[in-house]
């Protein structure tokens, strides 16, 4: 029987590929998302993390969450700081989150109330994503937005966990926390299902952002969303 970590990686691989190659991420990777579009993205992420991080803390003693929980991973303050730099102090009033981000936050609230172990899936999708692909994006975003782009530079704090050694340390700690989790078969299926749902919700968010950013139209890919 595969470990939960191995199942998550294998069973979300297709959706990861789709996220990476989708219109929005591909444009971000090419440095083609302008500052307004990028701030809209960060505003939506702020809503997502604003629901995720307090929920993880609330359920910090849960056996499916405790092994991966580390305050050093928290992104909410870094997102707020980047929005202040890139948009201005009144970002929270002036920028509206995407409807898909609000739906994502609702999903997180529901999961937190009904089945908090499923939050592990969202921590996996977000934090390992930020620690991996996010590191590629940091320099690209800095260049595209005309920012200095050095260590922890204003405007790119979202991607900054510390230097490369620290980022690697946090990644390894998350991965070994994940390996240490020993869910029963039902819990493992639920977490994998929730991770697929999390990628599906991201796909919806990226589609909306593609529209907002005026990226070329393409048929909407079918999105998997976790069962309620």
Chain contacts with ligand HEM (rule: CB under 6 A) = 8-9, 16, 19-20, 25, 29, 124-125, 128-129, 132-133, 136-137, 199, 202
From residue 63, give the alpha-carbon distance in Å to each of 16, 68, 118, 127, 181: 26, 10, 11, 18, 7
Closest by Cα among 41, 8, 6, 9 to 25: 41
Identity of the residue, 16 or 224, whose beta carbon is nearer to ligand HEM in the bound complex: 16
What gap in Å lies between CA 24 and CA 98, rounded to an integer?
Answer: 14
What gap in Å lies between CA 97 and CA 204, rounded to an integer?
Answer: 13
Q: Which residue is nearest to ligand HEM (CB)?
A: 133
Closest by Cα among 227, 225, 223 to 22: 223
Q: How far is the CB of 227 from ligand HEM (least distance, A)?
A: 19
Longest Cα–Cα distance of the chain, Å, equals: 51
Identity of the residue, 122 or 157, whose beta carbon is nearer to ligand HEM in the bound complex: 122
Q: How far is the CB of 10 from ligand HEM (least distance, A)?
A: 8
Q: How far is the CB of 178 from ligand HEM (least distance, A)?
A: 8
Q: How far is the CB of 88 from ligand HEM (least distance, A)?
A: 26
Identity of the residue, 113 or 205, whose beta carbon is nearer to ligand HEM in the bound complex: 205
Identity of the residue, 94 or 189, whose beta carbon is nearer to ligand HEM in the bound complex: 189
What gap in Å lies between CA 81 and CA 158, rounded to an integer?
Answer: 8
What gap in Å lies between CA 52 and CA 46, rounded to an integer?
Answer: 10
Identity of the residue, 125 or 192, whose beta carbon is nearer to ligand HEM in the bound complex: 125
Q: How far is the CB of 129 from ligand HEM (least distance, A)?
A: 3
């Amino acid at each position: 029987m595969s470990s939960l970590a191995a199942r998550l990686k294998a069973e979300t691989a297709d959706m990861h590929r789709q996220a990476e190659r989708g219109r929005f991420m591909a444009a971000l990777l090419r440095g083609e998302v302008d500052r307004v579009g990028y701030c809209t993205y960060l505003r939506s992420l702020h809503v997502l993390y604003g629901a995720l991080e307090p929920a993880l803390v609330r359920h910090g003693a849960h056996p499916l969450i405790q092994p991966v929980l580390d305050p050093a991973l928290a992104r909410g303050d870094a997102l707020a700081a980047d929005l202040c730099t890139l948009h201005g102090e009144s970002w929270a009033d002036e920028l509206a989150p995407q409807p898909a981000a609000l739906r994502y936050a609702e999903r997180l609230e529901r999961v937190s109330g009904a089945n908090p172990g499923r939050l592990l899936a969202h921590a996996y999708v977000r934090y390992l994503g930020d620690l991996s692909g996010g590191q590629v994006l940091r320099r690209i975003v800095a260049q595209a937005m005309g920012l200095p782009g050095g260590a922890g530079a204003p405007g790119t704090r979202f991607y900054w966990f510390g230097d490369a050694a620290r980022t690697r340390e946090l990644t390894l700690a998350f991965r070994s926390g994940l390996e240490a989790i020993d869910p029963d078969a039902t819990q493992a299926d639920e977490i994998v299902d929730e991770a697929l749902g999390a990628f599906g919700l991201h796909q919806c968010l990226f589609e909306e952002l593609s529209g907002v950013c005026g990226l070329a139209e393409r048929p909407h890919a079918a999105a998997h969303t976790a069962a309620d």
